[in-house]
Copies of this chain bind each other. A is one copy, B any other.
Amino acid sequence: MSTRSPHRPSPHEDSPHIICTVDVVALTLIATRLHVALLQRAQPPAQGDWALPGGYVHAQTDADTSAAARRVLADKLGMHGVYLEQLATFSGPRRDPRGWSLSVAHCALLPADALPAQGPAGAIRWVDVQQLPGLPFDHAAIVAAALARVRNKSQYSSLPVHLCGEQFTLPQLQAVYEAVLGDTLNKVSFRRKMDDMGLLEAVPGAMLTGAAHRPAQFWRVRPAYRQHLAVTPRGL
């Protein structure tokens, strides 16, 4: 907030309307590669293009922009209760032909076992982030920012656990971290970092059994960390 400089108009008076929207970069891992959810736009601008799901902020009903992003996830992708964080706000006079616009971009992480192929707003395409089609507006820059954020945060936080299902073994979790980081990790130090963060709890009596290996314990994220990240100060 600010005091208004007297020589400058307030947007309540004669300054142009600013278009306020949210966009959501919904990411998941399919075959160890990050994929993003795209929807086909039903109206102009960019009608028919595949784009990030998004929508106007509804000042009548949205508690804040995160609530708007959750509404978009629910109404357009049929997704509820997923991990969501604010990414950054993209703005300017040229990113949208409708006028000076501001979009608060959010990043959502989903386990691959919960992916809808059809949302309330139509078919959902899950596209490999390395093979994105041309995206309208500045959506390519928004996806790039989301990937940089996720890869960076994965080096020192529990972020990638939100790409896992409810239960996972430690080798499965390490594979998810390695897929996101694009790097192999040392098993011993990886497990120590997971211990340091204290974000996992063993699922009582749940073991992965198979002929080839001895049974492996299933783990899950502690409730405290299902919407908040655990952080390790030293990095993986």
What's the Cα separation between A203 and B233 when bound, in Å? 32
Choice from B52, B86, B234 contacting A235 with Cβ under 8 Å: B234
Interchain CB contact (< 8 A) of A54 among B1, B39, B59, B72? B1
CB–CB B92/A64 < 8 A: yes
A-B pairs with lowest CB-CB distance, top 8: A2-B54, A59-B100, A2-B55, A235-B235, A16-B59, A3-B42, A64-B92, A64-B91
CB neighbours of A52 from chain B (8 A): 1
* Interface members, chain A 142-179 (any B CB < 8 Å): 152, 155-156
22 of the cross-chain contacts (CB-CB < 8 Å) are A1-B51, A1-B137, A2-B54, A2-B72, A3-B39, A4-B56, A8-B55, A10-B56, A11-B17, A11-B20, A12-B98, A15-B58, A15-B59, A18-B18, A59-B99, A64-B92, A86-B88, A89-B89, A91-B104, A102-B104, A155-B233, A233-B235
B96, A1: Cβ atoms closer than 8 Å: yes
Distance A155 CA – B16 CA, assembled complex (angstroms): 41
13 extra interface residue pairs, beta carbon distance < 8 Å, beyond A11-B19, A234-B234: A1-B46, A1-B51, A1-B137, A2-B41, A2-B54, A2-B76, A3-B121, A4-B56, A8-B58, A15-B58, A17-B59, A57-B91, A65-B91
Copy tally for this chain in the complex stands at: 2
Residue of B nearest to A102 (CB): B20
A202 to B45, CA, bound (A): 52
With A18-B57, A234-B235, A235-B233 already in contact, the answer to whether A3 and B41 are too (CB < 8 A) is yes
Across the interface, which residues of B come within 8 angstroms of A111, CB to CB? none
Given contacts A19-B11, A89-B104, A233-B235, contact A2 B53 (CB under 8 A): yes
Given known contacts A88-B86, A102-B65, A60 and B1 CB-to-CB distance under 8 angstroms: no
The answer for the CA separation of A81 and B82 in the assembled complex, in Å, is 40
A151 to B115, CA, bound (A): 36
